[in-house]
Structure 1
């Protein structure tokens, strides 16, 4: 390691280092820039990337960890500089938290808005893209709420914290697109459009259910994956087809 040897308990080095006192103002500027930059980057990751932490909370974790870690190991990092950076991070957090409470526009920018993913058993492909989720991601989250088929779901919202809120039917649900077993393990049977079908069928692209008696045509969503038998209980065993759910 080059440079002069480190003198233990050199109080001037420990607290101020070799930088002039005006460098403390530069730390204020540096901390503000990095704090705002981290917020912008984390907002771009979306709610899925943030999981259960808000963008502001994650910035606090990153910034405090970085500011607190360096002075623990590097003798050239003065304690006063690190203490100032830590105080600034906490101060920025308190100020932004106050703005979030007082301003709906700031809250929307910082935390985003809930997204409606499912309405009356039909999921929105556009909403999934907005939430940065795939169809399989949605089905996985629904299964964690013990949802077996989309007909059980009246509304499903992707919340600001990245969680899923599900409102279900209070009584016997209508038939819907099965989400269990997971499609990766057991994909649903695609109905042959050239053969007459009878009963309830569900679109594989959006979950829309219709009752048919004859040949299948395209869904209004414009999807190309076709149709499968709608069901009220996908786990009832083989032979549970659309005609049994009429």
Structure 2
């Protein structure tokens, strides 16, 4: 069974559809009602719900957008039904928010846990995989915080909200793996494993620094990228070789 014939560039259909022109005033009314109702409901979520976008808040945004969109211009969707759906979504958020505050298990399930990515200038490779971050992603975040080489970092944590918390040495940071300049622009020089080296070198895979005198052995992390010179200031030059 075929539907009604569609006439291309039918301006009446394109701009107004099948609804009478007066229905545009009803859309104004519907939009105002839903907008005011949403403002009231979002006010109930509290400042914490509006300050960050956790997994719970993301679900709320998607659910509210879906429930609020249809009644704005679909005449067959009653306003009270949409308002009830919006109220239930916000009510579920309030209940879950209270459970997150009162139960550490629920908080860990809903928002995850912080992950330690760097300790003493060395990557935690397994933690990077769990956080779904590449080495380049971490470098970018460290550079945004003013870190030039990995030896500056005492601890780095990937927080529940997706931010990176970095704790650096106040002064006299040990040498480490350079993160400046970005490796896409200038990758550190890989040392020749067949040539004797003297001084401090750093693994290009995990950031481990070792003092060497002679040929280079494989790093304990099992990385394949090799070694480069450990630096204190990548923009000045090597430290000790």
Fold shared by both chains (TM-score > 0.5): yes
In the alignment, what sits opposite 1:98? 98
Could you say what secondary structure the match of 2:233 adopts? Answer: coil
Displacement of 1:151 in angstroms is 0.4
TM-score normalised per structure 1: 0.77
Q: What is the CA RMSD across the aligned residues, in angstroms?
A: 2.0
Displacement of 1:80 in angstroms is 1.2
How big is each residue's C-alpha offset from its partner over 1:167-195, in whole Å with a ceiling of 9 and x where there is no partner? 00122100000000000010110000000
Verify the 8 A CA contact 1:121 1:207 in the aligned structure 2: yes
In the alignment, what sits opposite 2:164? 164
**Paired residues for 1:117-136 under 5 Å:** 117-136=117-136
Query: Which whole-Å CA distance do the structure 2 matches of 1:222 and 1:242 have between them?
Result: 24
Query: Which whole-Å CA distance do the structure 2 matches of 1:83 and 1:65 have between them?
Result: 12
Displacement of 1:6 in angstroms is 6.0
Query: Which whole-Å CA distance do the structure 2 matches of 1:125 and 1:180 have between them?
Result: 20
Query: Which whole-Å CA distance do the structure 1 matches of 2:194 and 2:159 have between them?
Result: 41
In the alignment, what sits opposite 1:241? 238
Is 1:197 aligned to residue 197 of structure 2? yes
Query: Which whole-Å CA distance do the structure 1 matches of 2:122 and 2:228 have between them?
Result: 14
In the alignment, what sits opposite 1:147? 147
In the alignment, what sits opposite 1:213? 213
The higher-RCO structure (CA 8 Å, 6+ apart) is 1
Query: Which whole-Å CA distance do the structure 1 matches of 2:73 and 2:220 have between them?
Result: 62
Which ranges in structure 2 are unaligned for 5 or more consecutive residues? 5-17, 31-51
TM-score normalised per structure 2: 0.79
How big is each residue's C-alpha offset from its partner over 1:72-93, in whole Å with a ceiling of 9 and x where there is no partner? 0111111111011000001000
State how many pairs are aligned: 200
Query: Which whole-Å CA distance do the structure 2 matches of 1:53 and 1:186 have between them?
Result: 35
Query: Which whole-Å CA distance do the structure 2 matches of 1:159 and 1:60 have between them?
Result: 21
Verify the 8 A CA contact 2:149 2:234 in the aligned structure 1: yes
Could you say what secondary structure the match of 1:243 adopts? Answer: coil
